[in-house]
Chain A
Amino acid sequence: MAKEVKDLLRDPKILVGMILFPALIYPLMGAAMSISTGSVIETASANMTIYMIDDDGGPLASTLKEFFRGGNFTVEAVEGDPASMAASLHGGDVLIHVPSGFSENITAYRRADIGIFVNFKEFSIVEFIKAGRAEGIVRIFEGAITNALISNAFPNAKAEDILNPVKIDYNSVIRGEAQPINPEVLQNTMRLQGAMGPIVILLVLILAMQVAATSIAVEKEAKTLETLLTIPVSRLSILFSKLIGSFTIAFLASVATVLSFSYYFTTVLGTAAVDQGLDLSVLGIGPSSTGFIVLGATLFGALLSALALALTLGTLAQDVRGAQSLVGVLMVPVIMPMFFIMFGDMSSLPAALQTALYLIPFTYPMLASQALFTGNYGTVFVGLAYMAAFTFVTLYLAAKVFSSERIMTARLSFRLGRIKR
């Protein structure tokens, strides 16, 4: 077993590709995003010149200029045709055209036009942000005008009440108790937190299968298999060493990826995704320790059966590339349950599809990760019994292949579509 782990960890392809790369890629991505975002924010919040053609000359055009100045803009008056003038400006520069009659229309309760011209040269984020900043000031000005107009017309009313005459008090009834929570916020939170489980499970399964499937092919390619089969170690020991070795590498790779992704997600993006949502455990629908034990059990079963399947299939390959192609076949039953469970609801699927999914052992960790929040463990417990039987059969098959000469002589012939010996 120590040989397996040591040899795998010393393989630069595995160390770099499966552990170091995932561990570094997200922080590096985050760092790159931080640097560019930082420079964008700096540019966008700096003092900006706004070009204005004032054909109105009225009091509200002057008020608009004051709003711009208050928003850290320098207002530069220009004259001429707005489109031609805007075309002569730098990339990202904004020109405001206040047409004649602007102030008069507003004070007469008529809609007034205003022109915003943005000169795009590189279509960069900075250019779009500058355009957004200019529009933002116009919107603030519009809000202030609206409030002023309403207050003038209805001195005894609040402008906000007239603008939003209906206020919704949201309530979500969770486990029989009404909670003042917007269902949309609840859905977003559950989707965000619930999605991590299946994604991590998928990652662990795929990584483990890749390592397991290639482990025999690596021995074949390095011409070490024949020697390995003649040392005084039982074939079952070799099988279990390879299972444990693959599991260890998959575990390390998953930890590296999850830590790296979490760092990127919470620290770098600064979204604090969970903060935006809700603390589900306070609502009684957070993950429980029983839930994690069940999830762990289903994941362990799925991993063992996936590894045994991948190892058995891997013995048919002559080299690493062949093993990787073969393991691709196993990806379909691993990925399918994730899509259906992440984006849908098992109970709403057609009966035939439900049966197919229940026959796939990799469905149950996904259901268990969902049950963490829903508490519906019924199907998962039945699935655990099915998985135990499935895992036993796959391990038995793997042991049979390892104990026979097929490990040396079996070939999968795609051309003939059958196994040659």
Chain B
Amino acid sequence: MEYVVRLKDLVKDYGGRKALDGITMQIEEGEIFGLIGPNGAGKTTTLRIISTIIKPTAGQALVCGIDVLKAPNEVRKLISYLPDEAGAYPNLSGEEYLKLMASFYFESGKGIGEALEEGRKISGLGERLKEKSSTYSRGMKRRLQLARTLMVKPKLAILDEPTSGLDVTHAYHLRNVIREYARTHSTTILLSSHNMLEVEHLCDRVSFINEGKLVESGSPQELKSRYGARNLEEAFMKVVGVA
């Protein structure tokens, strides 16, 4: 079976500090996959390697069978990445920003136009899209970024803490958009979060990551049953031996 993401013994060493220590995992097509762990566990490092931003010290990372080290430009055509702290160009309006980003993925005006329309819908920002992004609230900026990530219809959307720091209204909107988008477009989504309750409601499968190692994987239901936990948070605490 061809996996959308396949990691084999991935190691990342930041000059003596091991951020990843032999990560191995696979993600199937159409899955919403959650990478869960506390701050500093290695979530962002894993996502950055898959996104071709940084290189692994050892091991292999494949996206749709393409090695991120050998053909990063090919991988970039298949993915769309939403960093934990993403910004837009402050002197461009939300709409100009979406159009600009779409132009990197599509050559024809039609393709750009369709992506822009999709972006408008996903963001739900309406007329505010015509205003400069520097005037947006944190929640609006995050909606714009999620729209930018998904509007290009990537094979793999990588979302780093997509709802972190947002109020309940914006977080609720974003979760619905992600769930709905994955269902209607069969896009594979890899997201990281330290909000385990959110992940429980959103993901088909999750992996617990702690101190650079994957410590457990499965569907939220499986993990809860396996550890006799009421929720993923409790399951995680039992896995890492705290609870």
> Count the B residues whose beta carbon is within 8 Å of the partner chain — how many?
30
CB distance A224 to B87 under 8 Å? yes
- Chain A interface size band reads 20 to 34
Residues of A within 8 A of B197 (CB): none
**Known interface pairs A222-B87, A224-B86, A229-B53. Does A234 touch B15 (Cβ–Cβ under 8 Å)?**
no
CB distance A409 to B54 under 8 Å? yes
**Interface residue SS majority, chain B:** loop
CB distance A11 to B104 under 8 Å? no
**Interface residue SS majority, chain A:** loop
**Known interface pairs A11-B91, A224-B88, A231-B76. Does A408 touch B105 (Cβ–Cβ under 8 Å)?**
no
Q: What's the nearest-Cβ distance from chain A to residue B116, in Å? A: 15
Cα-based distance from A231 to B81 in the complex (angstroms): 8
Query: Interface of A with B (CB < 8 Å)?
Result: 3, 6-7, 10-12, 222-224, 226-227, 229-234, 404-405, 408-409, 420-421
CB distance A405 to B53 under 8 Å? yes
The 7 closest A-B pairs by CB, nearest first: A223-B87, A10-B91, A226-B83, A405-B54, A230-B81, A232-B76, A231-B104
Of the candidates B79, B89, B101, B104, the one whose C-beta lies within 8 Å of that of A222 is: B89
CB distance B105 to A232 under 8 Å? yes
**Could you name 23 residue pairs across A and B whose Cβ atoms are closer than 8 Å?**
A3-B89, A7-B92, A11-B91, A222-B89, A223-B83, A223-B85, A223-B87, A224-B86, A224-B87, A226-B51, A227-B82, A229-B53, A230-B52, A230-B53, A230-B76, A230-B79, A232-B105, A233-B76, A405-B53, A405-B55, A408-B54, A409-B54, A420-B15
Residues of B within 8 A of A226 (CB): 48, 51, 53, 81, 83, 86
CB-nearest residue of chain A relative to B15?
A421
Asked whether any CB of chain A lies closer than 8 Å to the CB of B58, the reply is: no
Query: Interface of B with A (CB < 8 Å)?
Result: 14-15, 48, 51-55, 73, 76-77, 79-83, 85-92, 100-101, 104-105, 145, 148
CB-nearest residue of chain A relative to B100?
A3
Residues of A within 8 A of B92 (CB): 6-7, 10
**Known interface pairs A7-B89, A224-B86, A224-B88. Does A231 touch B105 (Cβ–Cβ under 8 Å)?**
yes
